[in-house]
Amino acid sequence: MAGGSWSHVVARALVRPLVGGPVTPNHLTTARLATGIAACAAFAVGTRGWDIVAGVVWVISALLDRADGELARLGGTSSKWGHAYDYYTDVAVNGLFFVAIGFGLRHGALGAWTIAMGLIAGITVAAASIWSELLEQRRADGVKAYEGFGGFDFDDVMYLFAPVAWLGWLLPLLAGAAIGGPVFALVTWIRLRRTA
């Protein structure tokens, strides 16, 4: 869709009043980092009540992930440092999410195995993100490493983590990520190697 995904359109509308004001894109990135860590801490508790709270905070964090870049573009304040800060914040928070839910599920059916699963998923999702960024930098056409569809970016899937938590489906999500994360990382690494 023109102008980015649906989440970009929503974020753009929300930050438009901030253009030219005292709030900078880096303020929003810092808020994204703080809310992302807070959501992960709540997920790590591993109780139904905290999972519900974590899901709410996670949605706010995911929206802030879009908002910082939109504010930078609208206000003409994009910078290399700001992009790097935003990017590495996203990599860290998204990887930490899986580590946190693995820790939170440790008292369930799979016991401490969920901690190992969370580490595998978190590390490989972070690695795939870093390799995707490198792949995009090597391409001259500006095309993303993984294109979205229907007005949704590939990483908009992060918004679904909240309803998954609310429905009590974190264990299937973690199991899928512990398998899919390494596969995704491997495919991305192979694609990156082919561009070298």
Please report, to the nearest 10 degrees, the dihedral formed by the alpha carbons of residues 175, 181, 187, 188 taken in order: 160
CA–CA separation, 93 and 7 (whole Å): 18
Q: Residue 127 — very low, low, confident or very high, per pLDDT cuts 50/70/90?
A: very high
For 58-98, the pLDDT digits (tens) are: 999 999 998 998 999 898 888 999 999 999 999 999 999 99
Report the length, in residues, of the chain.
196
pLDDT at 3 over 80: no
Question: Where do the domains of the chain lie, and which CATH numbers do they carry?
Answer: 6-195 (1.20.120.1760)
Q: What is the pLDDT of residue 45?
A: 98
For 139-188, the pLDDT digits (tens) are: 767 677 677 666 666 778 888 999 999 999 999 999 999 999 999 999 99
- A 10 A CB-CB count for 144 gives 13
Helix (H) or strand (E) holding 135: helix 113-138
Asked whether the beta carbons of 32 and 64 are under 8 A apart, the reply is: yes
Which of 62, 88, 86 has the alpha carbon at shortest distance from 6? 62
